[in-house]
Amino acid sequence: MSNLTTIFQYLTALLGAFLAALWLALIFWTYRDIRSRTQDKLVQILAALLAAVMGPFGVLIYLVLRPRLTIDQEYQQTLEEEALLVEIEDESLCPGCGGRTHADWQLCPTCHTHLRKGCDHCGRLMELSWQVCPYCGTPVEGVTTELQGTET
């Protein structure tokens, strides 16, 4: 009978050690997880205390309340959103009707507003305000006399 009691005590001690290790692992996991989700030290400490005081039930509560995304995931999502905004902002708009246009269009297909002009020498598209073609250096017609007048 004493042999059976000793075995029972060892099994109880082993189970207790396992549960204590599991409890500590849950506290450690909770702390590491919350550190990847927020930089607020108070929230990090409170999450670890929740797991320490309430054990597995505290971890379940933490899983319900924790931020959905990690700091890195939020950063990546922000970068993607900014890239999309830059793409949207880079799209040209027609000054006449406000419709979307492309960089290689001379006229707006909706309102027929002139968006760009072609170079007489190389044929590449230029902005309407340009006085010299940046691709071949040819002065724009009608501006030639003005440019020559400034050189003398």
Q: At what angle do helices 41-54 and 2-35 cross, to 10 degrees?
A: 160
Contact between 66 and 50 under an 8 Å Cβ cutoff? The reply is no
Average pLDDT for residues 97-126, to the nearest whole number? 86
How many CA atoms, within 13 angstroms, populate the side-chain half-sphere of residue 23?
12
Angle between helices 41-54 and 56-65 (to 10 degrees): 140
Tens of pLDDT along 26-65?
999 999 999 999 999 999 999 999 999 999 999 999 999 9
pLDDT for the residue numbered 101: 84
For all residues of the chain together, what is the average pLDDT?
Answer: 87
pLDDT at 152 over 70: no
Specify the pLDDT at position 143.
52
Question: What gap in Å lies between CA 38 and CA 67, rounded to an integer?
Answer: 8
Q: What is the mean pLDDT of residues 16-28?
A: 96
Residue 90 has what pLDDT? 67
Domain boundaries, the chain: 2-71, 92-152
Q: Cβ contacts of residue 102 below 8 Å, gap of 6+? A: 92
Position 142 scores a pLDDT of 67
> Which residues have a Cβ under 8 Å from the Cβ of 146 and sit 6 or more positions away?
131
